[in-house]
Every structure is written in structure tokens, then in C-alpha cells.
Structure 1
Amino acid sequence: MSSEVTLSAATRQNLLSLQDTAALSSTTQNRLSTGKKVSSALDNPVNFFTAQSLSNRSSDLGTLLDSISNGVQTIQAANQGLTSIQKLVDSAKSTANQALATQLNTSGTAGAAFSAAAGTINLQVNGTAVSTTLTASDTIDTTIAKLNAVVGPQGAGNAFSKDTTGTKIVVSAGADLEFSTPGDQTALGFTSGTANSGPQYGTTSTAGQSSNLTVTGVKERAALAKQYNSLLTQIDQLAKDSSFNGTNLLSSSATTNKLHISFNEKDTSNLDVQGVDATSVGLSLTAITGNSGASSNGQGNFLIDNDVKTTLTSLTNASSTLRSQASTFGSNLSVVQNRQDFTKNLQNVLDTGASKLTDADLNEEAANSQALSTRQSLGISALSLANTAQQGILQLLR
């Protein structure tokens, strides 16, 4: 005796229809809850793995964006450093121009009347040694002529003259004029200065400044030279501080240090930003030294106008170098920022493409859900109608 339930053809057909509707409804509900029409490789292998590949590349580009952003900040830090260094160079240029505008002057009248004596008078004009030989028969006028003949070509002009009495030598020079030894001072009637007590330039001077003479401009220029050297120190410190995240494109070692920025996940597209040496040494700016400096004649401290002009030329060249370096960094920054925007847009394109392959249209799925709900109600009603004949027999049995 069979225990199986026998369904009519109409009932079985309606039952299958209800099962299909339930399956579709389940799929629709899953899409509505996850927002995905392809949530696994079983749903659509091609779309699933293609979308996964696109998402993976988008993720890789997102990681690169962090590196690119660091690169942008590093270049901006270097560019800001160059801008600040340029201001310091301009300040140094102003200091040098101030030194050039500070006039050197030596003036005074001998304390004693001139007395002819044979011998050599050794002088230094702005640190340059000159000398002239006097004879016992030289008059004060002859002596003055000889002295002017040797100091004039060094920029002191006709520094020597005589006072109104015609007996004493007068000095009026637009330069730092010094005697090399105490004997050179007293031979012309000037009071001997205390050794090493006054402004001294050159390598042979042992005489301090005579109390009969006044020198102006030397100490002022020396103070400006010290200020100039301080600015060079600030340039070095600023260059060393222009770093970001441990990378410095302006330090003294920057020429061997470069910033590498990758623009794609395989590093086949990249940019190398070469560092520069923006320190005072890298800009060919040297500190101003005095008698203890490396100059063979001991000149320094902005004493010589030509030396100051040479310094100004170096500063002008440094400004040009800084502008060129800033232009290069600016160009590199423009490239990196452009690639940063491109990478962001490409990442959006990849994410959008992946979404189109796997994301569900929620409006469509909501409409499907409503339609399936209606279909399910109709299916139940149809199933009820299919069982009407059996219900009639049941009524007869009752």
C-alpha cells in the first residue's frame, strides 16, 4: 500500500510556481540587505573576479596616495625653506651694501713738528703695505709729496698735507691709513701708539693707533661683517631644518639624497626629486674674516671695497641659484600634485567600475520585492483554487 501523497497536476504546477517565487524573493531580499547583486563567485564568476581585481588596484593606489601626499609635503617644505633662505640672502646683501656705504676715514695732526731724518716710512692703506724712503735733506713738502705718491694709488688720495703753521703733517684720508711700526709714526711727528691697541690690518703692523689719529668706519664695517657671518649661520640652520618626515632636500647632504615618488603599483611610473645644497657652502658664500682669517694679507671685515663688491656678486649669484632651485622644485611639485589628482580620479573610476559589476540597483530590487510579494499572494490563491475539486469531495463526505 503506497503512503505517498498524490498531488494533482494543477496543484503541483502551482506549488512549483510558489517555490520559484520564494527563491526569487530570497534572492531579492539578500540583494536589498547586502546591496550586492554579485556577492560571491557563485553568483557571477566573471563579474565577481573582475570587480575584485578593480577593487584591489584601487586599494593599491590608495596606499600610493599616502606616499604621494608625503612627497608633496616634502617638496613644499623644501620650497618654503628656499623662500626663507632667499630672504636671508637679501638681508645679507643689504648688510654688504651698508658696509660699502660706510666710509673709511683717517684724520689727525701730528703732535710734533716735522724734523727731517733719513729712513724708510712703512704704511698700510686698507691693509696693503706701502713704503717710501726719506732723506735727511727732505723738506716737509718733499716728504708729503713722497707719502702721497705711495698712498694715493691705494685709494687714500692726497692723504698727507701740512697744517696752517707749515710745520706739522696733517692726515686726511678716505681710507684706513696705519703706520707699520711705532718708529714710522714718530719719524713724522706723530705720537707713538700702544702696540696692538688700535685698528690693525695686514700682517706686518705692530704699531697701535697713534693718539693723534682718528680712524672711523673700520669698527662699523667689522660689526657689519659679524652681522653678515651671523646671517650665513642662520642660512645653514634653516637649510638643515627644512625637512619633512625625515627627508631634507636642502641640507648639505641633499645632493646625494633624493626623493623617490611612485605613481603606480609597479613603480614603472615615478619621479625622482633631486635634493640641492642650499647651505652657505652650497651657495658659495664664505664668512668674512679679519686678521686671523685665511687671507694672505690679513685683510677682512669688509675693509676693502672691492672685497665687499665681490661678496655682493656672490650674493647675487646665490639669489639666482635659489630662484633656479625654487623653479625646479615648483615644477616637480606641479607634476606630483597633478599625479595626485589623477590617482584620486582613477581610484574613483576603478571603484565605480567595480560597483557597476557587483552592486544591486536597490530601486529595481525594491520593485521586484513588491512584485514577488504580489505574485506569492496570487500563487497561494491559485493553489487554493487548484484544490477546489478535492474540497468538494470532502464536503460530500461530510
Structure 2
Amino acid sequence: MASNITLSAGVRQNLLSLQNTASLMSTTQNRLATGKKVNSALDNPTSFFTAQSLQSRAGDMSALLDNMTSGIKTLEAADNGLSAITKTVESMQSTLRQARQDKSFKTESYTINLGTTPAGTEEISFQGGAVGTTAVDVALTGTTGAAAATVSTGAFTAMDFNPAAATSGTITSGAFGSTLTFDNAGDELEVVVEVNGVNQTLTIDATAVAATLGVGVTTITDADELAQVLDDLATGTLNVTSTGTAVTFTSSTTGTGSSIEIISATATNGGGANTITNTSGIAVAAQNTGSATGTARTLSFDIAIDGAVTPTTVTINAAAVALVGDNDNIIDTVAELASIIDAQVGAGATIGSTATAVTFTSATTGVTSEIDISNVAVAGSGGFTNTSGLATANDLGAATGGIAAKTVDEMVTAINGTAALEGKVRASNDGGKLRIENLSTSELTVTGLDATTGELTGGVGTSDIGGNTVRTNLVKQFNELRDQLDKLADDASFNGVNLLRGDLLKLTFNETGTSTIEIQAKDEDGEERAINSATLGIDTATDPDFDSDEGIDAILDGMKDALGVLRAQSSSFGSNLSIVQNRTEFTKSMINTLQTGADSLVLADTNEEAANMLALQTRQQLSSTALSLASQADQAVLRLF
């Protein structure tokens, strides 16, 4: 048994050294083989478990990168959709502008032939097109020798349209009393004034009097001197002046925010022969507030000419006065008033004037000739009530002559002056024929023709005027683009998530789930929404929508709003994309940091371990030689035999 073997001390010592060297070589060989200096918790518990924790966190964060990358692609898909939708909306705008520029409305020309003895009941009737299902009739006949409707106002008086100016808060004290002498220490007059809601304390003593009235002066003898001293003590928001017998406190501002209130006036006697007991007229006064700037003065009235359904509203104010070249805001003469009214009434009536009044005369005569003035009103500051003789009035023309067919020019005036046909039908003189233009995309029916000759006789014959086919085709093009808009929105998805459909994209940025972002299309109120034609306010267009330029302009205004929504949503998604991309780069950097930190705790320096191995090999050889030498000493006894 090994326990019965006795080794010399030298051999045992060299054997132990050799065993230690072999153990170190084994450890170094393991480090070289694995590349780690810490392979288990036995090597270094702190480093091992710390590195393991860092590697685990790096692994968790690495798993989140795929989700972030998918989120970036989802946002890019949504941005692709928004870009395509924006181009589609711009194409729709182009279609609308093309429709607005097109004026290829269909026309027909008719010869008027009512004979020499018209009955007076002959009419031309319009139905369909933009007119609608209710026919609009216009008389083909009129009366001869009839009077025109005329209205004359009452007496004129000059009119001032300058609004009242704003005033400042002002308070005037009572009459100045006896003189004030400040020749003793402690003599003071303290006045507290609230200016625009802020108190100012003005303290008069010998120093203040001398600073204002001159070196050595200690006595204030009148209201002028008192006002000077107080004004020097006041700050910029307060002005103090004199009326000669009293002191006036005024705010430097004007309007309803300007206010003055005297809070107190206190005299203090410092002793001596001359006593300070009076306040020389300054007493506590209630608040006085300035007035706001007066509102603009206005005179307005409605005038209906020849029974117009919608009357013209005439508004006379400073701006209207300036339009006729008068910049003093005052109407000085009746002729000037007539000129201002005439600039707003337009065709259909003549606006004239006498020496004292304005006259209104219809351009037509007979029973259909009518001038109706209503709703005369004045408004503005300063109790403005001057109407310069305008009053509610109505006057109808008289029909005193016989019945006659209207000329082509008279029919042009009558048709174009009919409110129910305005913007729907337009008449003109086509070389002696009455030309009717259908301002619509739908067919217009004209009734009042001779069924055989096609002449305009007031008969029962009809004629159809086609609609504007160019605008009709552009309506179809507009609706096709609208349909494509919705399809683009539906196709802008990635991995089943479509932000343009209102889907919610939630991304997690850290391994604990405490850092997240939720991305969704929302309106200005923060409510979720989809991006499509309905939420953009783009409705399906109909042919009547393209009948008038005004209708097209209304749709164009809606398209501008839609582009604003798209650009705002694109900006929002762009901001979110920047956040996710930044977070992705941050996560990559963190993973690298964690892995590098973990490796620094457990990885071995192979160069150092190789050098250690070489040294241990040398030590092993030397230990083996030393062990051999120690054994030779034990073998010396064998030489005796």
C-alpha cells in the first residue's frame, strides 16, 4: 500500500512541485481549448453569473429586433400608401381644374316669330339640365308705353363713418387747497393710485419738491406745482397734469383695459411751525375706466329689382366710401351716396340723384318692373342712426300700352335677369336669333316652339339641348380615381397590419416590456381613423356637381383639406418611423455592449495563456530533473552491494 511507502523529504517536495505544475498546465490547457478563463461558477462565481445575466439580456433584446424591423416595414408600407394616395388626390385636383376650364356647353339658336298680334300669354319654358324638374317660364311679350318703377329717398344729410376713438381712464381731484410746506423732517404727503390694476405710491417730501421745483424750494403753492411733483414721481403707466385749479390722473393706455382709482391721500406732519395736514384737493376717488375703440359704422339695406327672389344687400361703411375715391370716411353729398350705392347694385337699375335725394329706377317697364327697398338698418358706435333719407319703399311700373313681342335683346335681358335661371341657362343674341346655352352636364328641354318650323312662337313644341359631355366624362374619371384611392389604402399592409385601415401597431423596445410605442392613424382630436375617401371627405361625384364652376370650386376646397390630412398623417408616421429606427440602432448597440461586457468577464487572453503554458512546460521539465536528482540520493545505498 502507498501509505507504507516512505519517500525522502527531497523526493516528496519535488514530487509535490511537479504535481502543482501539472494542475496549472491542465487549467491553462482548458482555457486555451475553450477560449474562456471562467467556464463554470467554480472558476469565478461573480464573473460567471454576471456574464450569464448580460448574455441573457442581450438575447432577449436580440429577439425584439425582429419585431422592430417588422414595425419599420409596416410604417414604410403605410408611407408608400400615403404617397400613392397623395398623388391620386393631386390627379383628382387636376381633373377638377380641367373640368372648370372646360366651357364647351351646348347651344341652340331660335328665331322669334310671334306674328303681328301676340296674345300676351306666349312664354319660353326651361326644364331639366341644371334648372331641375320645375319649369321656369319667361314671357315672350311685353307692353308698350309702360312706365318704369322708380323710388326716391327722403332728404339727405351728411354721414360720418369714422368710429369713436378709445379713451383712457382719467380722474380729476378737487380744487387745490392751501399751500403745502415740507420744511420739517417727516413732512410727507403720500398718494396711492391704482393704474391699470397696479398700485403706485407717490410720496412727496422736501427732497421730491426740491428735485422738481428747484434746490431749496420746500413749498408747493398751486395745483400746477403739485401736478409737476406727482408726475415726476409717477412711473410710465401714469400721467399727472393740472387743470390750473386741480390735479388730473390719467392712464397712459386706452381702451377697456385702462383704469385709474385713487386709493388714498395721506398727509403726515413731522412737527414744527408749518404743519402738513391738508391734501390740497386730492381725495379718494372711485375707479374710472377708459372706453373701447368704437365699432365701425354701417348703413345697410336690401334692394330687389323686378321681383328678384334674392335681393341685393347694399352695405355702406368706411371701406365702401374709400372705393369711390373718398378717404375721409365721410359722405358729404347726395351724389357721392348715389355713386357708392350704384357701385354695389349693378345692372338692372339706374341709381341717380337730385339735389337732396337718391333715386332708384328699374331698367325695365311695365307690370314686371319693380323696385323694392327693405331692411334699412344702421349699426356702429356713437349712437349712429343716420339713414340719409333711406326708408323701406316699393314701387311697381305701370302697364299703359299694348302687347308686343319682345325683341331678341329684350329676351336676352329677361332670361339672364331671371334669378331661377342664373348660372343654369345663358342667353345671347346670335345674329338676330335667340341663342340658348345649356350650362349643365344634363340635357335641357326648351318649350315654346312651333312643332313644325322650330321657331319660337310660345307653342307647345320642344327642343332638347344636350349637356356638356366633356365635364360628364371628367366626372367618371374623378370617380375612378376615387375608387383607386380606396384600393391603395387597402393594399398598404405588411405582415397583416395596415395602418391606413386604422390597425394598431404596438412595438416593445425593452426586455421588461416597460418601453413601448403604439402607432395608429388618428385625427386632430386623437381619435383613431382609417385613411380612405370617406374619412378624407371625398364623396362620389355626380354630373350636377360639375354643372357650375362654383360646384367644382367647392369640391376643390375639399381636396385641399384632404391633402392637408394626408400630409399631417404622413408627418406623424414619419416621426414614428424615426423613433423606431433610432430605437433599433440603440438596441443593436446595447446588444453589442452587453455581449462585449459579458465576454470581458469570462474570455481568456490566449496570448497570455500560451505564454503561461510555455512557462509551465519549462517548469515541468525542471521539476522532473529535480525529482530525478533527489531520487539518486536515495539510490546511493545500492552502491554498497
- TM bin, normalised by shorter chain, reads 0.7 to 0.9
Supply the distance in 1 between the matched residues of 2:463 and 2:593 (Cα, whole angstroms). Answer: 82
Q: Kindly name which structure, 1 or 2, has the bigger radius of gyration based on alpha carbons.
A: 2
Match of 1:39 in 2: 39
Match of 2:138 in 1: 132
The unaligned stretches of length 5 or more in structure 1 are: 193-206, 291-298
CA contact (8 A) 2:441 2:547 kept: no
Supply the distance in 1 between the matched residues of 2:90 and 2:479 (Cα, whole angstroms). Answer: 14
CA contact (8 A) 1:259 1:272 kept: yes
Closer, same or farther: CA 170–12 of 1 in aligned 2, 3 Å: same
Match of 1:202 in 2: none
Alignment of 1:263 onto 2:534: no
Match of 2:156 in 1: none
The unaligned stretches of length 5 or more in structure 2 are: 143-402, 522-528
Match of 2:497 in 1: 247
Match of 1:277 among 530, 539, 543: 530
- RMSD in angstroms over aligned alpha carbons? 2.9
The residue type equivalent to 1:383 in the other structure is L
1:317-332 matches, cutoff 5 A: 317-332=561-576
1:90-129 matches, cutoff 5 A: 90-110=90-110, 113-115=113-115, 116=118, 118-124=121-127, 127-129=130-132
Supply the distance in 1 between the matched residues of 2:574 and 2:427 (Cα, whole angstroms). Answer: 55
CA contact (8 A) 2:81 2:492 kept: yes
CA contact (8 A) 2:438 2:444 kept: no
CA contact (8 A) 2:415 2:421 kept: no
CA contact (8 A) 2:75 2:577 kept: yes
The residue type equivalent to 1:309 in the other structure is D
Match of 2:414 among 128, 135, 146: 146
Q: Per the alignment, in what secondary structure is the counterpart of residue 105 of structure 1? A: coil
Supply the distance in 2 between the matched residues of 1:248 and 1:41 (Cα, whole angstroms). Answer: 49
Q: Per the alignment, in what secondary structure is the counterpart of residue 247 of structure 1? A: coil
Closer, same or farther: CA 277–329 of 1 in aligned 2, 3 Å: same
Match of 1:293 in 2: none
Closer, same or farther: CA 158–59 of 1 in aligned 2, 3 Å: closer
Match of 1:334 among 578, 582, 587: 578
Match of 2:18 in 1: 18
What is the CA distance between 1:176 and its match in structure 2? 3.8
Supply the distance in 2 between the matched residues of 1:138 and 1:173 (Cα, whole angstroms). Answer: 25
Closer, same or farther: CA 340–180 of 1 in aligned 2, 3 Å: closer
Supply the distance in 2 between the matched residues of 1:365 and 1:188 (Cα, whole angstroms). Answer: 119
CA contact (8 A) 1:74 1:247 kept: yes
Closer, same or farther: CA 186–360 of 1 in aligned 2, 3 Å: farther
Alignment of 1:351 onto 2:595: yes
More moved, 386-395 vs 36-45: 386-395
Please list the CA deviations of residues 285-327 of structure 1 after superposition, one character each: whole Å capped at 9, or x if unmatched.
Answer: 111023xxxxxxxx23x12211111111111111111111111
What is the CA distance between 1:362 and its match in structure 2? 1.1
The residue type equivalent to 2:83 in the other structure is T
Please list the CA deviations of residues 12-71 of structure 1 after superposition, one character each: whole Å capped at 9, or x if unmatched.
Answer: 111111111111111111111111111111111111111111111111101111111111
The residue type equivalent to 2:84 in the other structure is S
Supply the distance in 2 between the matched residues of 1:396 and 1:209 (Cα, whole angstroms). Answer: 155
The residue type equivalent to 1:306 in the other structure is E
Please list the CA deviations of residues 304-356 of structure 1 after superposition, one character each: whole Å capped at 9, or x if unmatched.
Answer: 21111111111111111111111111111111111111111111111111111
Share of identical aligned residues, percent?
Answer: 41
Match of 2:541 in 1: 288
Match of 1:170 among 425, 434, 442: 434
The residue type equivalent to 1:170 in the other structure is L
What is the CA distance between 1:121 and its match in structure 2? 3.2
CA contact (8 A) 1:114 1:188 kept: no
Closer, same or farther: CA 177–307 of 1 in aligned 2, 3 Å: closer
CA contact (8 A) 1:123 1:131 kept: yes
Supply the distance in 1 between the matched residues of 2:418 and 2:24 (Cα, whole angstroms). Answer: 114
The residue type equivalent to 1:175 in the other structure is L
Closer, same or farther: CA 13–114 of 1 in aligned 2, 3 Å: farther
Q: Per the alignment, in what secondary structure is the counterpart of residue 80 of structure 1? A: helix
Which structure has the highest helix share of the two?
1
Q: Per the alignment, in what secondary structure is the counterpart of residue 250 of structure 1? A: helix
CA contact (8 A) 2:107 2:436 kept: yes
Please list the CA deviations of residues 232-257 of structure 1 after superposition, one character each: whole Å capped at 9, or x if unmatched.
Answer: 11110000000011000002xx0xx3
Supply the distance in 2 between the matched residues of 1:219 and 1:180 (Cα, whole angstroms). Answer: 13
What is the CA distance between 1:87 and its match in structure 2? 0.7
What is the CA distance between 1:361 and its match in structure 2? 1.1
Supply the distance in 1 between the matched residues of 2:562 and 2:99 (Cα, whole angstroms). Answer: 19
Supply the distance in 1 between the matched residues of 2:419 and 2:73 (Cα, whole angstroms). Answer: 59
CA contact (8 A) 2:127 2:444 kept: yes
What is the CA distance between 1:181 and its match in structure 2? 5.0
Q: Per the alignment, in what secondary structure is the counterpart of residue 500 of structure 2? A: coil
1:226-241 matches, cutoff 5 A: 226-241=476-491
What is the CA distance between 1:108 and its match in structure 2? 2.7
What is the CA distance between 1:227 and its match in structure 2? 0.5
Closer, same or farther: CA 209–181 of 1 in aligned 2, 3 Å: closer
CA contact (8 A) 2:129 2:443 kept: no
Closer, same or farther: CA 160–311 of 1 in aligned 2, 3 Å: same
Please list the CA deviations of residues 204-259 of structure 1 after superposition, one character each: whole Å capped at 9, or x if unmatched.
Answer: xxx9853xx5x57x1110111100100011110000000011000002xx0xx311
Supply the distance in 2 between the matched residues of 1:367 and 1:233 (Cα, whole angstroms). Answer: 77
CA contact (8 A) 1:110 1:189 kept: no
Q: Per the alignment, in what secondary structure is the counterpart of residue 159 of structure 1? A: strand
The residue type equivalent to 1:378 in the other structure is L
Supply the distance in 2 between the matched residues of 1:388 and 1:272 (Cα, whole angstroms). Answer: 84
How many residues are matched? 362
The residue type equivalent to 2:509 in the other structure is F
Supply the distance in 1 between the matched residues of 2:39 and 2:428 (Cα, whole angstroms). Answer: 104
What is the CA distance between 1:363 and its match in structure 2? 1.1
Match of 1:74 in 2: 74
The residue type equivalent to 1:281 in the other structure is A
Alignment of 1:386 onto 2:630: yes
Closer, same or farther: CA 184–55 of 1 in aligned 2, 3 Å: farther
